Structure formats: structure tokens, C-alpha cells
Amino acid sequence: MPQQTRSQTVTDEATGDRGLATAIGIVSGARRLVAFTGAGISTESGIPDYRGPNGVWATRDIPHIDRIRTDAEARISYWRERRAHYPVMLQREPNDGHRALADLERQGRLLAIVTQNIDGLHQKAGNSPEQVIELHGSTHRIRCIANGHLFDGVDIQARLEAGEEDPHCEICGSPLRSATILFGEPLPERALRTAAAVAQAADVMLVVGSSLVVNPAARLPTIAQRHGAKVILVNREPTPLDDAADVLIRADAGPTLRAMIDAVRERPPAMVDDDAGRND
């Protein structure tokens, strides 16, 4: 991110709610807000993040794409694990953070959500699928390796539970795989292009629950800021972009977003503060 020419509001236990109040002013004036979410927005729904102490993604073996393409044993072991864990994922419900972002869409302020998450909780909370850009795919879709034919995760789960160990595509016979990014794969080009375009068009980028260490997604707040957006960062822990954010709120995502969006909803348009975000 470019070096600060703007003021920054830091909120933590020491400084109280100033960051939240500033963020409410900024979001009240937003017409093209882009939310950029990471695993941290879903921890309050019971899905561990990647780098946290209980991160199942850290402890589980995410396979390499080459092995999934070529090694039936690797696929069988992958499907066995998925068969055990997918029903738990299906039971997860959106929390206040997801619901607040769905409210933002209903208020007509949201341009898009760009997410690193694969859990589908933004859509489950009520955001329209076309407004959610999934950089790492979705665990609720399965596709065939050869031709990209798509299947519903629930249907494939039924086949696994019926005894299939290495399900193949019903259309072309190719082995199947999850439509999420595996190790050794680039991010989907179309999603990346759309994410960069909405970052450039945003007037506010609200970054929630990402450690911001994985590129190229971690560059999106910088792109947004270079194109004139204010960046509000909500995270429990420090991130490499803290110093560059216009507003930094070090707190839990769910209650923070709920409070922010409730306050924004109560603000009549006449109260929109064009200078919001100034810390003077």
C-alpha cells in the first residue's frame, strides 16, 4: 500500500471505539463497498482458520493437484477424509459478520464480496451468488478433472456414502475433484480479474479476518486504496497492512460488523458524512 497520506484510526482496548465510529462514518457514505473476507470471518461459525492453533487446514493434508490427477490412492484418501468432514461443514451456519454483509447488500451499498473462503457462508447468509467472488473456489462444488463438468457437493457426498471410493464424472468418465484450489494450482484467472476490477471500482474496502500474507489476494486492499478507496481493516491480530489501513479495528469480526452495519442502517442519507474517515 502507498505510504500514508491519510490519517489512521487505531482501535484496541486502549483507545476504545474511535475506530468503529470512524468506520461507521465511512461505511455510511459508501455506495460501492467491497468486502474482502478471509477465514477469520468464519471462525465464529465454528470453522477454524488456517493459521490459528486449531486450523484443520494446517493439520489436514491438502493434496497436491498432480497427485489428485494421477494417483487413485491419493484420491481415495482425499474422498475418505471429505466423506467424514463435509457433513460437518454443511451444518455450519453464518454468524453476525456474514449476516451484516448480507444486510449491506440489502441496503444497496455493496458492490461485491471477494472471499478467500470456500465455505459458502456468505451465500447462506443471503448475499447473492453473483456478488460473491470466490478466489479459492467452493467446497460445495465438485468438478471433473478432464472437462470441468460441475456437480453439487451434496450429490457427490451421497455417492461416497453409498460406497463409491473414487467417484468419476457421469458425463465423461474423468475422475472428480473438489472445485477448490489445491496445492500447486494458480488462482482462477477470471475470479482474480473480477476481484481486481471491483477493487478498482470500490469507494470503500472492508477487509475482515484475513492474515493478508497470501498473494495475490493480499494485494487487493492496496489496489483499492491506490484507486481512491478507504480501507477499513477488522482483524483479531496484527497484519502486514495494519499501518496502511485508513481504519484499523482489532476486534472480533461478528460483533464488530454487526455494530457497524446496525449503526449505518439507522443513519438517514442526510447524515452521510463526506469527511468520514478524517481523524482530525
Site residues (vs ligand NAD, CB under 6 A): 38-40, 42-44, 47, 49-52, 57, 116-119, 136, 209-211, 214, 235-237, 239, 252-253
Nearest residue to ligand NAD by CB is 40
Q: For this structure, is 140 an active site residue?
A: no
CB 49 within 8 A of CB 236: no
Tell me the one-letter amino acid at 85. Answer: H
Pick the closer one to ligand NAD by CB: 47 or 104: 47
Classify 83 as helix, strand or coil: helix
Pick the closer one to ligand NAD by CB: 169 or 199: 199
Q: How far, CA to CA in Å, does 121 sit from each of 37, 44, 254?
A: 11, 12, 13
Pick the closer one to ligand NAD by CB: 46 or 228: 46
Task: Say how far apart CA 37 and CA 208 lie, in whole Å.
Answer: 5
The torsion region of residue 110 among left (phi > 0), alpha (psi -120 to 50) and beta comes to beta
Minimum CB distance to ligand NAD, residue 162 (Å): 27
Is-cis flag, bond preceding 216, omega within 30? yes
Pick the closer one to ligand NAD by CB: 49 or 246: 49
Angle between helices 253-266 and 18-28 (to 10 degrees): 50
Pick the closer one to ligand NAD by CB: 139 or 159: 139
Pick the closer one to ligand NAD by CB: 25 or 209: 209
Minimum CB distance to ligand NAD, residue 114 (Å): 11
Is the alpha carbon torsion for 190, 122, 208, 270 positive or negative?
positive
CB 159 within 8 A of CB 142: no
Task: Say how far apart CA 144 and CA 126 lie, in whole Å.
Answer: 28
Grid cell listed for 76: 481415495
- List 136, 140, 168, 227, catalytic entry: 136
Q: Which helix (H) or strand (E) holds 20?
A: helix 18-28
The β-bridge partners of 110 are 33
CA 104 to chain centre: 15
Query: What are the residue numbers of the active site?
Result: 136
